[in-house]
Amino acid sequence: MKKIFLTLLAAMGFVVGAQANTGGFPWDKAPDRTSDMAALQNGAKLFVNYCLNCHSAAFMRFNRLKDIGLTEQQIKDNLLFTTEKVGETMKSAIDPRQAKEWFGANPPDLTVLARSRSAQGQGTGADYLYTYMRTFYVDDTKATGWNNLAFPNIAMPHVLWELQGKRSPVYETATEHGQQVQVFKGWEQLTPGTLTPQEYDHAMGDLVSYLQWMSEPAVNTRVRVGMGVIAFLLLMTFFAWRLNAAFWKDVK
Amino acid sequence: MADFKEISPNASAGAKLTNWFENRLPTAFDMYKVHMSEYYAPKNFNFWYIFGSLAMLVLVIQIVTGIFLVMHYKPDAALAFGSVEYIMRDVPWGWLIRYMHSTGASAFFVVVYLHMFRGLLYGSYRKPRELVWLFGCAIFLALMAEAFMGYLLPWGQMSYWGAQVIVNLFAAVPFVGPDLALLIRGDYVVGDATLNRFFSFHVIAVPLVLLGLVVAHLMALHDVGSNNPDGIEIKATKGPTGIPLDGIPFHPYYTVHDIFAVCMFLVVFSAVIFFAPEFGGYFLEYNNFIPADPLKTPLHIAPVWYFTPFYSMLRAITDEMLLVLIACVAGGAILGVTKFKLPAIVKLVIVGAAAAVIAMMLSIDAKFWGVVAMGGAVVILFFLPWLDNCAVKSIRYRPQWHKYLYAVFVVNFVILAYLGTQPPSAVGERVSQVGTLFYFGFFLLMPWWSRLGESKPVPTRVNYVAH
């Protein structure tokens, strides 16, 4: 019986294997700093200063930032640009109609974007964003002057170019299956940014962690409560097991 | 009416209170006896027998969390998505209630599939439990409707396009199709009207039907008594008191059993809620975190995992596959006419019916037959009690190769489920076509294959090893 099951499972694996197909630029693994308050605060700063100019986070309230260790006064003093009240949600400064004219597409709302971009077999939404924010390059053929290596022809320009500087991808000619193909080899820094490449990657890690946290602000509470709940249930299970055994011991 | 029972004035306060109620609502006490303390269940229940109770637990979880969700949810195309995020962010513990409900939906199908498979393994659908099985199948059908309509409510991309695809299937029905789809949607596309009627069905209509069916399912079960892993009628061997010798009162023996099972279930259930509520995109699909956009069709529309075996069967019916099915119908008719000694008139009816079906298959679009296959895959379950001709009920005493066949059935079902989650592909299409033929072959040929082979002798008393 077991053998049959194993054989069938192997057959299933074959079917799954035949289906698997990956393509496109592989996603980099984003660092997970969703419980690192300093990183989240830095991410929030970057988010409010850069992203919020065009994107909204229409379901995220400014005062929720208290969850990542900021006081209401700090939020008011440093992060409120588009609104007066800390209880407000994060609305962008841009008029959606103008945005559509400028970029050809409305910048999507970022509240739960990190959750929506996960893809089975490719990575989490954080991985997507971390890769995306680090693969912009100068492309004069585009209206915005920017293109993205991992996600070609995307409408968004490189908003953080001052931090990263201008870059251009370097290709290498390789032979694959007897054909000459261009393979991405690395980056060429055209002009330096205000951050070193290491600092930029680190900042993007913070920003992406913030976006991930913002997509589910309850995440840290969830995990913490979960530990307690599971511990309690395991204890309950133990007693329920003994109770069951006590009742059934006389059943012959 | 029961006689009024006097109680000694010296009795304890508890006894007096019980007596007070017993004289005023004896039905409750009778029901307690019939369904709990004097309901004799076989003592040899195994692991497979916990899923009925667990299904009830999940039903209660869904109803209670659903009540709280409705307090904050807005069934309005413009507000629905935002109100779900409002629940996730601004409602205190709203995220927990929402995750319980979304995980509960998947958990419901997990336990119900296992519960149904238990019935299949031990022949729980066979005489005299046909009605128990029929009510159960109706519950499954209602549950599918409930889940489908509930899935529209978050108003994400998958909610929207999943509903769009499924409702459009009804449009494939000949003659009345387009009007039928319009009636379901309440609009020419899935829209606010659809959301509102699905909301109404999801929170009121279908839950009422579900609850009624659960009561019927349990009443039918408790009238005939539970089956058991040996497939033996324990009522056939009663002691001098009229109680089945292999029976044991449901309360307290199976209540403590179920408490234990509930605790273990809740550990797993909570682990998903607290540590993996999206469950890798299977319980909460990633695309559903994007608000519904009628102008942007997602590249790949997949239903939630519990519908995917049936979705695979739907996709398997192509024009090519239709030819195979026509051959099956023709082959079946020829076999029926030549193999069996039937009156000429019956043979004529068989040939006529087969010709009519084939004519219909040739004239109506394959898409419609896909819908028929998808629906048929569920409806065929209703007929199970009359398809199985095996001499014994339980898999334990069936011929050895039956076990292999059941194993293949399960693996086939899982493969179909997997393929349903994947984008269409040439290999996947072929595999799902073979899988669909196997699924229907398993049931339609059951009257024949279940008779074959030598079943083992069934003992008169159940196998029970003391704990």
Phi then psi dihedrals of residue B316, to 5 deg: -70, -25
Q: Which of chain A's residues have a Cβ under 8 Å away from the Cβ of B90?
A: 61
pLDDT recorded at residue B1: 54
- Write the CA distances from A228 to A11, A67, A169, A221, B122, integer angstroms: 41, 20, 49, 11, 39
pLDDT in tens, B218-260: 999 999 999 999 999 999 999 999 999 999 999 999 999 999 9
Q: Do the Cβ atoms of A54 and A94 come closer than 8 Å?
A: yes
Closest chain B CA to residue A87: B90
DSSP B50: G
Q: Is the dihedral of CA B112, B118, B119, B121 positive or negative?
A: positive
Q: How far apart are CA B298 and CA B291, in angstroms?
A: 12
Q: Does A226 touch chain B (CB under 8 A)?
A: yes
Could you tell me which residues come within 8 angstroms of residue B310 by beta carbon, excluding any fewer than 6 positions away?
B374, B377, B378, B420
The pTM for the full model equals: 0.92
The tens digit of pLDDT for each residue in B299-354 reads 888 899 999 999 999 999 999 999 999 999 999 999 888 888 888 898 899 999 99
The secondary structure of residue A147, as a DSSP letter, is: E
A 10 A CB-CB count for B274 gives: 21
Sorted by sequence, the CB contacts under 8 Å of residue A131 that are 6+ apart come out as A25, A27, A28, A30, A123, A150
Facing residue for B82 by CB, picked from A1, A59, A117: A59
Instruction: Check: CB of residue A160 under 8 Å from CB of residue A133.
Output: yes
Give the integer Cα–Cα distance in Å for A110 and B179.
39
Could you say which residues of chain A have pLDDT below 70?
1-23, 82
CB interface of A with B, residues 64-93, below 8 Å:
64
Per-residue pLDDT of A40-70, as tens digits, reads 999 999 999 999 989 999 999 999 999 999 9
Torsion of CA B370, B373, B374, B375, to 10 degrees: 120
The one-letter amino acid code at B30 reads D
pLDDT for res A83: 72
Across the interface, of A111, A226, A251, the residue whose CB is closest to B43 is A251
Instruction: Please name the member of B267, B411, B422 whose beta carbon is closest to the beta carbon of A12.
Output: B411
What DSSP designation does B210 have? Answer: H
Indicate if the alpha-carbon torsion angle B381, B386, B390, B392 is positive or negative.
positive
Q: Do A223 and B275 lie within an 8 Å CB cutoff? A: yes
The model's pLDDT over B102-140, given as tens digits with 9 standing for 90+, comes to 999 999 999 999 999 999 999 999 999 999 999 999 999
Residue A192 and residue A176 in contact, taking contact as beta carbons nearer than 8 Å = no
Determine contact, residues A148/A138, Cβ cutoff 8 Å. Answer: no
Helix (H), strand (E) at residue B117:
helix B94-122
In this predicted model, what pLDDT tens digit does every residue of B155-200 receive, in sequence order? 999 999 999 999 998 898 889 999 999 999 999 999 999 999 999 9
- Exposure string over B391-405, b if 16+ CB within 10 A, otherwise e: ebbbbbbbbeebeee
> Closest Cα of chain A to B83: distance in Å?
9
| Residue B442: pLDDT over 50 | yes
